[in-house]
Chains A and B, each alone.
Chain A
Amino acid sequence: MSVITADLRNYPLYIRSVPTQNELKFHYTVHTSLDVVEEKVSAVGKALPDQRELYLGLLYPTEDYKVYGYVTNSKVKFVIVVDSSNTSLRDNEIRSMFRKLHSSFTDVMCNPFYNPGDTIQSKSFDSIVSAMMVQSS
């Protein structure tokens, strides 16, 4: 499973994945998925931003992973990649994981010492992600 946060220019703010051995593939997968996110966002872009559902659902499946996406109103993208053999995680669980991520990300942004655009090094953000990873595995 892997969690990625990227800013509006698709610059990665946070990447974390377990297991780590296939990181490159994760990166490719996620980078590709960001395009899908943009496609989806631009497709619903006509709707008013506050009416837009932030959760984008399953972005696209691959043989090995399921990639889910979430976009904040400021176009910060969250992507969760789950092993496709993992059937325990339903849409609702993924959705609540994204919400948690979003609120933790908001906390990170509220930190006056955090420079927007820097990679996230917040411990609390880290621990939220770790907890999600433990829960999902």
Chain B
Amino acid sequence: MESHEEKPIIYTMENKPIVTCAGDQNLFTGLYGLLSQQLPREPMEWRRSYGRAPKMIHLEANFVQFKEELLPKEGNKALLTFPFLHIYWTDCCDTETYKASVKEDMQRWQGALRLHGSTDWLVVVVESDGKKKNKTNILPRTSILDKIRNDFCNKQSDRCVALLDPLKDSSRSQESWNSFLTKLRTLLLMSFTKNLGRFEDDMRTLREKRTEPGWSFCDYFMVQEELAFVFEMLQQYEDALVQYDELDALFTQYVLNFGAGDGANWLGSFCQPVRAWSGLLLRRPIDMEKREVIQRGEASLLDLRSYLFSRQCTLLIFLQRPWEVTQRALDLLHTCVQELRLLEVSVLQGALDCWVFLSCLEVLHRIEGCCDRSQLEANFSHTVGLWTYATEKLKSLGYMCGLVSENGPSSEELNRTVDLLAGLGTEKPETDDMTLIIPYKKLKEALSSVEAFEKHYLGDPQMAQTFLQDALKSYTAEGWSLPITHTRKQIAECQKQLQKTEDYLQTSALLASDANLSDEERKHFCQEILTFASQASEGKDQCMALSMTAFAQLRELQFHPSAATVHIGAALQLELRLCSLMPVPVHLEQLVCTVHYSEIRPAPAGSQRRPALSPDGTVTFPATSPSRGAAPGPAAPALELQEIQDRSPSDNALNSTGVVCKNVHLLMRINDNPASLDPPSAAASAITVEDGAEMLKANDVTLLPGNNSIVFSAPVSDLKAGSYTLRQLCATVGQVQFVLPHIYPIVQYDVYSQDPQLTVEPLTGCSCSAKSLLAGLPQRVKFTILTGNYTVKKGDALQLSNSDSMPILHSSACSACILTSTGGVRASVSIQSSEKVTSISLPQTPPYHTLEFQLEVLCHIPSAPARAESERLTNGEVRHRPKNRTRYNSGMASIDQKVSVDCPWSIYSTLISLTFYTPFKAQHSLLSAGKRKYIQVCLRNVSDTNFRLANQTLADHQCTPSLQLLSLNAKTHQLVYSKQCVYSLWEVKWATEPPSCLQCVFTASFSPADAPDTALKPYRYEFQIERAEIQPAVGEQHCHAGALCRLEVSITRVMDPSEAEREDEEYTESEGLRTTKLMYEVVDNSSNWAVCGKSSGLVSMPVAAMATHKVQMEVMPLFAGKLPFPSIKVSKYLAHSAPPTTQPEADSCLENDNLSLLDKGLEDQGDTASLRSRGSVHSLGSGEQQQRGPPMPRLESFSPGQVFNCSMARQVLVLPSTDDHVLEVNVT
């Protein structure tokens, strides 16, 4: 390459390291092609200083003819023009020539090199066979080489190489050629290492001086860039990029420091006002214009940044990392804006926006230039930031220059536009390249006219709407209210432009109800709807159906009556609470609620079918926010959790336990499919107005902002019986209908048709008898007739069959009351009575009314005690209880009276049962005083009423003449209070012999104590007394040792059964006898007694206080004298399969579960001590073999203090004869 230019061109990076060639030029020219082609063929490893990783590098070189000017002068730091190696070529092969010319020439060459301190040189001696043949003077060829080595390379013999006939194709010459190339590469690398190392050291020194006052960043920049160039030249782009990144970081740091108050002098040049904002220029590898400006130290911040970035961009593209360019570009643009702000550089308003916009487009353009379409599409994520940024800037420019205002730009804004256009810089040298100026053209065009701007910025409203809808969907799904509002506003704008009236109105409704907007904005959107509603009426006649959710919300529905169930013909009112979301009052021409009728007959007490209905007839609707759509939080169904336990099938042991969510499918669905939360606007298109025949209407309603109450009257009178479901709610405003397509939760009301009903019940609230009927007294009974669908006509009557024991008293004129749900009317009933039948004529009553009247009846007390209670005390108490266990727990005898009623609406008789209770209970006893006998009658008032008692008499049934009954009672009236007794006493006198049998009748008269004027009613009690012979028991006086004597063990229950035991009452009643099994055991530890026969046994203790059980057994005293009584052990006998015992539950649980045993034990005994003893059950069972197992009975001892031993420490005198005594043990 002989045509070497004086100044290397570095516009293109086709530079290669320079290698100079001196000596025989012709020789080199012949070899040049081969050399430059072969040199890069094999890579060399480049080992580097500072621990940098070694690199394989393909060396290339630019071979130029040696000239002294090429050698760098002192202080010249240029690296690109630096010759890294000097080669001297010669093919001299005879000594004479060498001595004559070559040596001299080489000496001159060496001298020049030495003068410039260059030590990187090489002498190449080319030997060719052809040349050798011509020359006759034969010297060994090594001798020239040796001579040169001798003369020039004192120590570095490797600086001189021989090249053997390189143009010949022989293996020898090939070998020599290869070794020459290797040498050349090695030397080149050595030179690089040495020279670059020196350069870097110098550079570092320069950098360390940066705190000195005269230091200039621009100078340093040039130095380090030189290094970058060299790396780039060596195709070490990574290293080159590092140099620029270092420069970038250094500069950034300086700016930051400046911001922190530490300003460097050289920064002054970067603080000059920005005059040009032509954007980045990335097409040329090196922007020499900018570089020169930097070199001169006149660069503005934007210049420096632009240049730096263009270099980085070039290198990154070499490195095939275009996406890093976009990333860095965004950073750069942000940084520049920041830095200009930080340095307080004055910039024309909008200039930066221009710069950023142009730069974005330039970067994008550059990237597009080096990638194909598919690559670009795959990497949109990298470019989107730049596009966005550019759009933003264009938009702000548009606002700034008045391009988006409706009146066009003002003069001030026009001036600004002109200024901005000026700063773009029109003169571009590369105007021939059309692609280059596209960003400029675009911006200029956009800024120049309103229409063009709109075209460039706004784009197509149709497309915009689609995008905005997508955005809205995502904001709605994620619940971001502010962006939702803003996006909706934009959508409204698009829809208005596109004249999508329906969508626009729907969006307007949403916006009018949006609390994020100001009142004015909301009113504006509301007005849009109202205007449309009023104007369109003459034009199109079809209605515009919009979703109601945005307009108003149904908050509550209330039914009057609250059950939402009415019979045919009754009035039903429906009160609607609508919350209007509009900012202004809206007049509704009509509000219609569509109703769906189904014939399914409602269950009479149908409230359980309507879970949404609260007891006061209100249905509350969940509040939804229209602007947010369905908020995911509250809309999600609540977790339904259930505990599960996994038990092993063999022993029922707990394997695992956990909590399961039962409605996972519901919850998960919401997560997976956020699209199901459609924004109301999307659903609006699907709104269809149902045309139901049934509807509830309200006309001319004005909805005020906030809550409104609207009352509908359901026209039930002409409706069929059945179920009515509310389906839709539709509000009409002019041509606009707001429709609530579904009312959910489901709201229904029922209309029913009912058969007439008759009920008869004791009159409540009467003073004398509170809740139940008392026999023997006139009682009021209430007849209630629900007419249902039956109309009571004139002459309709109830026919009551008479019974002797319960006459109907109809002395007074009977008044009736006809009731509706609203009020009542008085009427009268007339009663005629014949022998068999009492006929009650009913007043005329319309359907679905209630007819009430009262009758007085009297139930005679039967003469024989109907179900007298008998008590036996020997073996326990037998207790008969009234069949109906009312609160008259004391046991009133009851009498059931049945009345058959014939109703006019039915061919069947109605049988009515009335239960009367006998208010008294009588008991008699025979008392003796010496030889005198008395009969005492105890009359117990078991009712709740106080009675006056008179004329107690006792008479002998048989009228035995010899017998005289002498009353010892008060003559006056006596009061018997509720639950109290009155005792009457008669002395029985007889003339000769007392009768063996005495049949007596006790009679008394009574009347309620608080109604003294009422007639006294009789009460009768018959009883019989028999005389019996009583044989005194024959017994011996003393015990005799060695002889059998009787031991009577008497066990007495001291206390009533505890509350827990009472629980079993119902159960044991079926047995008639309620008992507890006890086990007793006679134990004699001191060998005083011998028990004959069974020493232990079971007794059944009646569950009643003072119940006593006596057991006779035989014992034999073994000694005479005063012996202590044999001790008796008493324990509870728990028969496993014996339910009547008091502890059946405790027992059955015992085997399975110790925990439940604990609880039961506490319940049973109220004493944990009993538990302790359960463990030692076996030892207690001496008489019977106890085995642990579910079906076996067991013993349970009483806890201390529960058993009182009467005979404890008592002694008995034993004579040598038998004795008989009683031993008592009391048991609780």
For residue B477, CB closer than 8 A to chain A, the reply is yes
For residue B480, CB closer than 8 A to chain A, the reply is yes
The 8 closest A-B pairs by CB, nearest first: A117-B633, A10-B478, A27-B482, A11-B479, A61-B334, A24-B482, A27-B483, A63-B337
Q: Mark B883-904, 1 if CB is under 8 A from A, else 0.
A: 0000000000000000000000
For residue A118, CB closer than 8 A to chain B, the reply is yes
Residues 55-108 of A contacting B (Cβ, < 8 Å): 60-63, 84-85, 87
Please give the distance in Å from A44's CB to the nearest CB on chain B.
Answer: 16
B342: chain A residues within 8 A (beta carbon): 85
Please give the distance in Å from B623's CB to the nearest CB on chain A.
Answer: 15
Q: Which residue of B lies closest to A32 (CB)?
A: B388
B475 partner, pick from A9, A31, A39, A85, beta carbons under 8 A: A31
Please give the distance in Å from A19's CB to the nearest CB on chain B.
Answer: 15
B131: chain A residues within 8 A (beta carbon): none
Say whether, besides A85-B338, A117-B636, A118-B633, A12 and B671 are in contact (CB < 8 Å). Answer: no
Q: Could you show 27 A-B contacts with beta carbons less than 8 Å apart?
A: A9-B477, A9-B632, A9-B671, A9-B674, A10-B478, A11-B633, A12-B478, A24-B482, A27-B482, A27-B483, A28-B483, A28-B486, A31-B478, A60-B385, A61-B330, A61-B331, A62-B334, A63-B333, A63-B356, A63-B389, A84-B334, A85-B342, A87-B259, A87-B260, A115-B633, A117-B632, A117-B636
Q: B interface vs A, CB < 8 Å?
A: 256, 259-260, 330-331, 333-334, 337-338, 341-342, 356, 381, 385, 389, 475, 477-480, 482-483, 486, 632-633, 636, 671, 674
A-B contact count (CB 8 A): 54
A39: chain B residues within 8 A (beta carbon): 381
**A110 vs B645: C-alpha distance in the bound complex, in angstroms?**
27
Do the beta carbons of A23 and B482 come within 8 Å of each other? yes
A9: chain B residues within 8 A (beta carbon): 477-478, 632, 671, 674
B385: chain A residues within 8 A (beta carbon): 60
Do the beta carbons of A31 and B259 come within 8 Å of each other? no
Residues 1-32 of A contacting B (Cβ, < 8 Å): 6, 9-12, 23-24, 27-28, 31
Please give the distance in Å from B366's CB to the nearest CB on chain A.
Answer: 21
User: Told that A31-B478, A118-B633 touch, could you supply 16 new A-B pairs with CB distance under 8 A?
Assistant: A9-B477, A9-B671, A9-B674, A10-B478, A11-B633, A12-B478, A23-B482, A24-B482, A27-B482, A27-B483, A28-B483, A60-B385, A61-B330, A85-B341, A87-B259, A117-B633
B381: chain A residues within 8 A (beta carbon): 39
Do the beta carbons of A84 and B480 come within 8 Å of each other? no
B389: chain A residues within 8 A (beta carbon): 63
**A39 vs B381: C-alpha distance in the bound complex, in angstroms?**
10
Do the beta carbons of A11 and B632 come within 8 Å of each other? yes
Please give the distance in Å from B27's CB to the nearest CB on chain A.
Answer: 61
A11: chain B residues within 8 A (beta carbon): 478-479, 632-633
Q: Which residue of A lies closest to B638 (CB)?
A: A115
B483: chain A residues within 8 A (beta carbon): 24, 27-28, 31
A115: chain B residues within 8 A (beta carbon): 633
**A63 vs B355: C-alpha distance in the bound complex, in angstroms?**
13
Q: A interface vs B, CB < 8 Å?
A: 6, 9-12, 23-24, 27-28, 31, 34, 39, 60-63, 84-85, 87, 115, 117-118
Q: Which residue of A lies closest to B389 (CB)?
A: A63
Q: Which residue of A lies closest to B333 (CB)?
A: A63
Q: Which residue of B lies closest to A66 (CB)?
A: B334
Do the beta carbons of B480 and A31 come within 8 Å of each other? yes
A61: chain B residues within 8 A (beta carbon): 330-331, 334
Please give the distance in Å from B580's CB to the nearest CB on chain A.
Answer: 26
A84 partner, pick from B256, B338, B486, B674, beta carbons under 8 A: B338
Q: Which residue of A lies closest to B337 (CB)?
A: A63
**A6 vs B256: C-alpha distance in the bound complex, in angstroms?**
33
**A84 vs B259: C-alpha distance in the bound complex, in angstroms?**
13
**A75 vs B270: C-alpha distance in the bound complex, in angstroms?**
46
**A63 vs B337: C-alpha distance in the bound complex, in angstroms?**
7
Q: Which residue of A lies closest to B670 (CB)?
A: A9
Please give the distance in Å from A14's CB to the nearest CB on chain B.
Answer: 12
A10: chain B residues within 8 A (beta carbon): 478
**A3 vs B295: C-alpha distance in the bound complex, in angstroms?**
46
**A9 vs B475: C-alpha distance in the bound complex, in angstroms?**
11
Q: Which residue of B lies closest to A84 (CB)?
A: B338
B480: chain A residues within 8 A (beta carbon): 12, 27, 31
B334 partner, pick from A12, A34, A63, beta carbons under 8 A: A63
Q: Which residue of B lies closest to A35 (CB)?
A: B474
Please give the distance in Å from B311's CB to the nearest CB on chain A.
Answer: 22
Please give the distance in Å from B756's CB to the nearest CB on chain A.
Answer: 53
**A40 vs B483: C-alpha distance in the bound complex, in angstroms?**
23
Please give the distance in Å from A59's CB to the nearest CB on chain B.
Answer: 11
B482: chain A residues within 8 A (beta carbon): 23-24, 27
Please give the distance in Å from A68's CB to the nearest CB on chain B.
Answer: 15
**A3 vs B632: C-alpha distance in the bound complex, in angstroms?**
22
Q: Which residue of A lies closest to B342 (CB)?
A: A85
A60: chain B residues within 8 A (beta carbon): 330, 385
B633: chain A residues within 8 A (beta carbon): 11, 115, 117-118
B356: chain A residues within 8 A (beta carbon): 63
Interface centre among B256, B478, B480 (most CB of A within 10 A): B480
**A91 vs B1075: C-alpha distance in the bound complex, in angstroms?**
85
**A96 vs B477: C-alpha distance in the bound complex, in angstroms?**
31
Please give the distance in Å from A48's CB to the nearest CB on chain B.
Answer: 24
Q: Which residue of A lies closest to B482 (CB)?
A: A27
B671: chain A residues within 8 A (beta carbon): 9
B260: chain A residues within 8 A (beta carbon): 87
Please give the distance in Å from B337's CB to the nearest CB on chain A.
Answer: 5
Do the beta carbons of A24 and B486 come within 8 Å of each other? yes
**A27 vs B342: C-alpha distance in the bound complex, in angstroms?**
26
**A44 vs B260: C-alpha distance in the bound complex, in angstroms?**
37
Please give the distance in Å from B354's CB to the nearest CB on chain A.
Answer: 14
Do the beta carbons of A12 and B486 come within 8 Å of each other? no
A27: chain B residues within 8 A (beta carbon): 480, 482-483
A118: chain B residues within 8 A (beta carbon): 633
**A11 vs B628: C-alpha distance in the bound complex, in angstroms?**
11
Please give the distance in Å from A97's CB to the nearest CB on chain B.
Answer: 21
**A85 vs B356: C-alpha distance in the bound complex, in angstroms?**
18
Q: Which residue of A lies closest to B485 (CB)?
A: A24
Do the beta carbons of A87 and B256 come within 8 Å of each other? yes
A28: chain B residues within 8 A (beta carbon): 483, 486
Q: Which residue of B lies closest to A115 (CB)?
A: B633
A62: chain B residues within 8 A (beta carbon): 334
Q: Which residue of A lies closest to B633 (CB)?
A: A117
A63: chain B residues within 8 A (beta carbon): 333-334, 337-338, 356, 389
Please give the distance in Å from B694's CB to the nearest CB on chain A.
Answer: 41
A23: chain B residues within 8 A (beta carbon): 482
**A62 vs B341: C-alpha distance in the bound complex, in angstroms?**
15
Please give the distance in Å from A43's CB to the nearest CB on chain B.
Answer: 11
Please give the distance in Å from B903's CB to the nearest CB on chain A.
Answer: 59
Please give the distance in Å from A82's CB to the nearest CB on chain B.
Answer: 13
**A6 vs B475: C-alpha distance in the bound complex, in angstroms?**
13
**A85 vs B482: C-alpha distance in the bound complex, in angstroms?**
25
Please give the distance in Å from B449's CB to the nearest CB on chain A.
Answer: 27
**A10 vs B478: C-alpha distance in the bound complex, in angstroms?**
5
**A28 vs B486: C-alpha distance in the bound complex, in angstroms?**
10
B330: chain A residues within 8 A (beta carbon): 60-61
A34: chain B residues within 8 A (beta carbon): 478
B479: chain A residues within 8 A (beta carbon): 11-12
Interface centre among A10, A23, A118 (most CB of B within 10 A): A10
B337: chain A residues within 8 A (beta carbon): 63
Please give the distance in Å from B542's CB to the nearest CB on chain A.
Answer: 38
**A31 vs B633: C-alpha distance in the bound complex, in angstroms?**
19
**A12 vs B334: C-alpha distance in the bound complex, in angstroms?**
28
Please give the distance in Å from A84's CB to the nearest CB on chain B.
Answer: 6
Please give the distance in Å from B489's CB to the nearest CB on chain A.
Answer: 10
B333: chain A residues within 8 A (beta carbon): 63
B256: chain A residues within 8 A (beta carbon): 87
Interface centre among A27, A60, A115 (most CB of B within 10 A): A27
**A28 vs B283: C-alpha distance in the bound complex, in angstroms?**
35
Please give the distance in Å from A32's CB to the nearest CB on chain B.
Answer: 9
